[in-house]
Structure 1
Amino acid sequence: MHSPKANPSGDRLNAPPEPGARYRDELNHVLLAVARGDRTSFATLYRQTSAKLFGICLKMLRDRGEAEEVLQDVYITVWQRAATFDPGLSSAITWLAAIARNRAIDRLRRQRPEHLDELAGEAIADEAPTPATLAERSQERQRLERCLQALPERHGEFVREAFYRGTTYVELATRLSVPLGTMKSWIRRSLMQLKTCLER
């Protein structure tokens, strides 16, 4: 299946509201439908999130053309990796924002590595709470962190990479020089342990 192309300028003016519980639930369902290959849901996801993700890219890159190119890459990545999204681990907007930040950082590393330190300082100075910050403050996130810390050594890190940062299993396996099947098995067992821990 070919990746559908997102239009990085068409719907940007229709910014979504800050996500409340209902908005988060609806967006989670849309992203899960994208994971099943639903192109209509992909278009809906783009309409509801592109303004926010473009804002993240533009703030980090400070160049509109580069931000639009990265935004395009973000949505191609979302289409390809939507099946790795788990609403039990993070909200859709948190997952999407993490991909946008990582893609922008990748672009900075390739083109303007000297800007990374300055960018990190801005991130610390920014007092506006992001969806990721709000999630981290929640009781659910605190419980999740405790359960992640209880996993075998480094397995919690693998789960964070896969579900918060959008890293694929292939990338993780390559980075650690382990078979892909081994990495999938580690993460699968870790998710089962997390589920048990969170249900206590």
Structure 2
Amino acid sequence: MAASDDDSNVLLVDIARGSRDAFDRFYELHAGLAFGVVLRVVRDRALAEDILQDVFVKVWRSAGQFDRNRSAATTWLVTIARNAAIDNVRRSQRRVMTTQINEWNGGNDKSSEDEMMITDDKRVLAICLDELEGKQRWAVGKAYLEGFTYQELAVAMDAPLNTVRSWLRRSLHRLRLCLEERQL
């Protein structure tokens, strides 16, 4: 049974006041929608179920921040679900990148030829990173090696969130072009 946006907005107000019944009803009405959003991003049913739980924990904790003048309840929920799924994907990508970098830095079973190639790859990567401007280079390192979120970077850099996103997107594009030129 579908609820109107007005009904969902009222449920969020009640959730903000601590109503467990309102939360249960909101979940019943919108879990399918949120699950679908998450599943489209992560493409793994079990992982999507875990993320869905986190999404609704955030709904419970953040319902007081919902502003019906800015968006409908379903839009707010979809945004939370999408961001949670994307954050999960980014964390996974960071783990893969960190593992690869750690493999470059370690591993005793590599031949001397492998070691030379890895050293050369690291040198090329360092050259390409050095071609980025200071703030952008710092942001790329923090985001992809240390796991900072866009929001954390925006706060640390005292810059608007969308500006940080643009910096990272352009920086990664320039980094990719540089690495392709050097065939890394």
Which residue number in structure 1 is paired with residue 35 of structure 2?
54
Identity %: 39
Question: 5+ residue gaps in structure 2?
Answer: 95-150, 159-184
Q: Does 1:175 align with 2:116?
A: no
CA deviation vs aligned residue, 1:136-174 (integer Å, no higher than 9, x gap): xxxxxxxxxxxxxxxxxxxxxxxxxxxxxxxxxxx6798
Secondary structure of 2:18's match?
coil
Q: Does 1:36 align with 2:17?
A: yes
Q: Distance in 2 between matches of 1:38 and 1:55?
A: 25
CA deviation vs aligned residue, 1:97-124 (integer Å, no higher than 9, x gap): 00000000001001147xxxxxxxxxxx
Q: Does 1:65 align with 2:73?
A: no
Which residue number in structure 2 is paired with residue 107 of structure 1?
88
Quote how far apart the aligned CAs of 1:63 are.
0.4
Q: Distance in 1 between matches of 2:34 and 2:13?
A: 18
CA deviation vs aligned residue, 1:47-70 (integer Å, no higher than 9, x gap): 000000001111111100000000
Secondary structure of 1:89's match?
coil
The structure with the greater share of residues assigned to helix is: 2
What is the TM-score of this pair, normalised by structure 1? Answer: 0.47
Quote how far apart the aligned CAs of 1:176 are.
4.9
Which residue number in structure 1 is paired with residue 110 of structure 2?
none
Count of matched residue positions in the alignment of Structure 1 and Structure 2: 102
Task: Note closer, same or farther for the CA distance 1:84–1:173 as it changes in structure 2 (3 Å cut).
Answer: farther
Task: Note closer, same or farther for the CA distance 1:36–1:173 as it changes in structure 2 (3 Å cut).
Answer: farther
The amino acid across from 1:80 in the alignment is: R
Question: 5+ residue gaps in structure 1?
Answer: 1-15, 114-170, 179-200
Question: Which runs of at least 4 in structure 1 moved beyond 4 Å after TM superposition?
Answer: 171-174
Secondary structure of 1:96's match?
helix
Secondary structure of 1:83's match?
helix
Quote how far apart the aligned CAs of 1:177 are.
6.9
Mapping for residues 16-31 of structure 1, pairs under 5 Å: 17=2, 23-31=4-12
**RMSD over aligned Cα, in angstroms?**
2.2
The amino acid across from 1:27 in the alignment is: S
Task: Note closer, same or farther for the CA distance 1:86–1:172 as it changes in structure 2 (3 Å cut).
Answer: farther
